[in-house]
Each structure stands twice: as structure tokens, then as C-alpha cells.
């Protein structure tokens, strides 16, 4: 399905999302008090970017095919 939508910028979306998640990964994996406070924020960012990728690649592509 992803290949059927021409011009879908999957790779740039994936790389930009992964780079943001990788920046927050040390905060999420920290074993000290700072990690205890920043872990929920990092998890929310991780979940938000996964949801963003799901919507922007899968559901937006479906909508483009539906209304074409």
C-alpha cells in the first residue's frame, strides 16, 4: 500500500521521528533521579511519534487512495 501512493515521504518522516526519539532515549533509560522524572515525558514523546508515523503513512495514504 505504501508503494502505491506516489510521492509519499516515508523515509524522511521515519528518519526525523527516529532522530527525535533517539535524543530522548538517554533520558528515558537513565537510572538516577533525573531519569525518574524525565521517563514519562520521554515515553509520551515516543508514543506520540509512533502514532504520528502510523497516521501520516498508513491512514493518510488510505485517505488519498479513497478520495482520488
Residue 53 domain flag: yes
Q: How many CA atoms lie within 13 A of 58 on its CB side?
A: 6
Total structural domains within the chain: 1
61 found inside a domain: yes
Q: Which domain holds residue 39?
A: 10-66
Would residue 33 count as lying in a domain?
A: yes
Is residue 26 included in any domain, yes or no? yes
Neighbours of 42 (CB within 10 A): 19
Residue 4 lies in a domain: no
Condensed to tens digits (0 to 9), the pLDDT of residues 1-56 reads 444 444 567 778 788 888 988 888 888 888 888 888 888 988 898 899 888 887 87
Amino acid at each position: 500500500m505504501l508503494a502505491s501512493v506516489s510521492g509519499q515521504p516515508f523515509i524522511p518522516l521515519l528518519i526525523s521521528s527516529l532522530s527525535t526519539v533517539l535524543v530522548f532515549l538517554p533520558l528515558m533509560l537513565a537510572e538516577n533521579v533525573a531519569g525518574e522524572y524525565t521517563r514519562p515525558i520521554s515515553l509520551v514523546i515516543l508514543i506520540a511519534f509512533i502514532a504520528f508515523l502510523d497516521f501520516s503513512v498508513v491512514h493518510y495514504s488510505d485517505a488519498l487512495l479513497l478520495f482520488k
